[in-house]
Chains A and B, each alone.
Chain A
């Protein structure tokens, strides 16, 4: 049998060889000091590899992960119970107020409703006035539009056709001026 190659030695050490091959290897090892040295070396190497220190996570690692996964979520049941709790709280507050104020409560209530009525009336008046202002402004806008239309029809009437070249030429000069003013931005991108 030829001398053993490292792959066979590893397989022999890790019991990965069929039993017949393992017997042959063992027979060769008994007679070959070079292969014995190789085996010894690889065995020591494997032993070191297999006994490499194992890193340990911190003791609270599991809790950290669980805290990330199972974050307290806002479930619907909790929301309903909180809302009910608030309702009960405010109702109790109101009842306490009624009990504490006693006969004055109704008077206070009627005064409050009167104030509410006055306030409502003021609001209504404000809304009416605001409506009137909106109507005035819209009439003004309409007038403005009508005036504009009349001016345009005057300009473009056949009799005053000479106005058009004037407008066109002023547009031309305006665009020339704009090109000159924004030449850097337009052509250099600066």
Chain B
């Protein structure tokens, strides 16, 4: 953590090596987030370059009391939203989703089939990856942060400025909707 603070300070002085350390630390988590949000690795890499450029130019505005990882993911999230706005990509709000045929009642059938046990682990991963792309963007984002970037619920709540309970509920919805999508695929 102290190392990170040192890298930030050195980067502010224009030290390339220090900023390289920051890039190396965050490039993989950010690529996994951005890539799964825009569904294309090449576009994701371009966006990632822009995100790091934004991080570097906004570094002076960073307040040390704020967790750096959260700050970085906040920048990335805003950048992805900007990208969608520019491309006019359709994104669903949570309110819309409730009218898109997903409801929690559908997600929780009484006699539920075991989706997970039907596939081997590697098959299941592949299916999940495909189903993830069908998940509404607002849920997909939180899901990726929680299970791929391994952010805590608190960190996610901080990034999205949402109450902790809402974040937990949305991530639960994401998991169950993903299961529903897998069930539908069978």
A interface with B by C-beta (< 8 Å): 5-7, 10, 37-38, 40-42, 44-45, 47-58, 61-62, 64-66, 68-70
Contact = CB atoms under 8 A, between A and B. Distances in A.
A66 B27 CA distance: 13
A66 B179 contact: no
Given A6-B108, A10-B172, A48 B41 contact: no
Contacts of B178: 49
A54 B121 contact: no
Contact of B45 (A5, A44, A51, A57): A57
Contact of A69 (B44, B45, B52): B52
Nearest to B179: A45
A54 B20 CA distance: 21
Q: How large is the interface on B (under 10, 10 to 19, 20 to 34, 35 or more residues)?
A: 35 or more
B151 to A, nearest CB: 13
Given A5-B108, A42-B116, A49 B128 contact: yes
B56 interface: yes
26 contacts: A5-B108, A6-B176, A37-B114, A38-B112, A41-B115, A41-B117, A44-B116, A45-B115, A45-B124, A48-B128, A51-B121, A52-B128, A52-B148, A54-B148, A55-B32, A57-B31, A57-B45, A62-B20, A62-B23, A65-B48, A66-B19, A66-B20, A68-B53, A69-B19, A69-B52, A69-B56
A55 B28 contact: yes
Interface string B102-113: 000001100010
Contacts of B56: 69
B16 interface: yes
A55 B35 contact: yes
B129 interface: yes
B61 interface: no
B129 A64 contact: no
Dominant secondary structure at the B interface: helix
Contacts of A41: 112, 114-117
Contacts of B116: 40-42, 44-45, 48
B132 to A, nearest CB: 8
B53 A70 contact: no
B66 interface: no
B85 to A, nearest CB: 23
Given A10-B172, A45-B179, A48-B121, A68 B49 contact: yes
Contact of B125 (A7, A37, A52, A61): A52
Which one of B28, B44, B112, B116 has the highest number of Cβ atoms from chain A below 10 Å of its Cβ? B116
B67 interface: no
A42 B113 CA distance: 11
Contacts of B32: 54-55
A8 to B, nearest CB: 10
Nearest 9 interchain pairs by C-beta: A44-B116, A48-B124, A45-B116, A41-B114, A65-B52, A62-B23, A41-B116, A49-B147, A57-B27
A16 to B, nearest CB: 8
